[in-house]
Amino acid sequence: MNRFAGQAVFVTGGNKGIGRGIAKRFAEEGAKVAIAAIEKDTLEAAAALANETGAEIIGLALDVTDAKAVREAYAEAEAKLGAISVSVQNAGVITIAKVENLTEREWDLNLDVNTKGVFLCCQEAIRRFRASGMKGRLINTASGQARQGFIYTPHYAASKFGVVGLSQSLAKELAREGITVNAICPGIIHTEMWDYNDRVWGQMLGEYGPGELMAEWVEGIPMGRAGTPAEVAALVSFLASADAAYITGQTINVDGGLIMS
């Protein structure tokens, strides 16, 4: 497929994990892609993905909690790639702590990156959609914890429930302009974040060795396996496509049937 030929796509957290899978899918479908992330390896990750796909991909250093930096990153992306038609708000963090040990700093970090960061990027993308007359697509990464909170992560769950509420509110505001806004809820996916989850939750919930807790949780997935970034990317690319023009304000699970609601 070549559904996004010539289009410019902006992906936060696109240097690794689910974000890299999303950036790769758009590149394979003909898009020019801006990968924006806070990590130092972002430019190298973009160059590697460009070499792998043959697509035009740029890397941008970005702290999504900084409104000025967000404006500058979108401006640079448009200067190099053209008007952005799709913006994927995927950058995220998680920390895990018992409630009595959960610090205000951890709370703020999760809400700032996972919720405020999504808002700031959506806000800037909307400005640019309107300026270019684009009926753009906004896709926001929530989580299975936007459906059900889990032990030792009330701050993370709150941040991801916030993404769903934000997406619904923006979808209603922008619907008459043809701009769609949807959220996705990945479940257990093979990523570095889930390696962290397996290790830290495993230590806190019992004497689990590497991979043991994740394997136990995977047993509860009706499909019997964890997902891949490519499978999440397939949903995102659909929501960004013309085929999804009449879908907005929705929150869609991609988790092998783990949560059915």
Amino acid identity for residue 88 in this structure: V
Token reading at 177: 């302009």
Catalytic site includes residue 156: yes
* Helices vs strands, H then E, count in the chain: 9, 7
Per the listing, tokens 């430019």 go with 43
> DSSP assignment, residue 209?
P
- Of the listed 156, 196, 208, 246, which one is catalytic? 156
Query: Beta-strand (E) ranges in 113-240?
Result: 137-141, 180-186
Give CA–CA dist 57/112, Å, rounded.
Answer: 27
Write out the DSSP string of 40-103: TTHHHHHHHHHHHH-S-EEEEE--TT-HHHHHHHHHHHHHHH-SEEEEEE---------GGG--
**Which residues have a Cβ under 8 Å from the Cβ of 92 and sit 6 or more positions away?**
13, 113, 114, 141, 143, 193
Give CA–CA dist 2/23, Å, rounded.
Answer: 14
Give CA–CA dist 158/146, Å, rounded.
Answer: 8
Query: Beta-strand (E) ranges in the chain?
Result: 8-12, 32-37, 57-61, 84-89, 137-141, 180-186, 251-254
Long-range contact pairs involving 105-108 (C-beta distance under 8 Å, separation at least 24): 106/155, 107/155
Active site members: 156
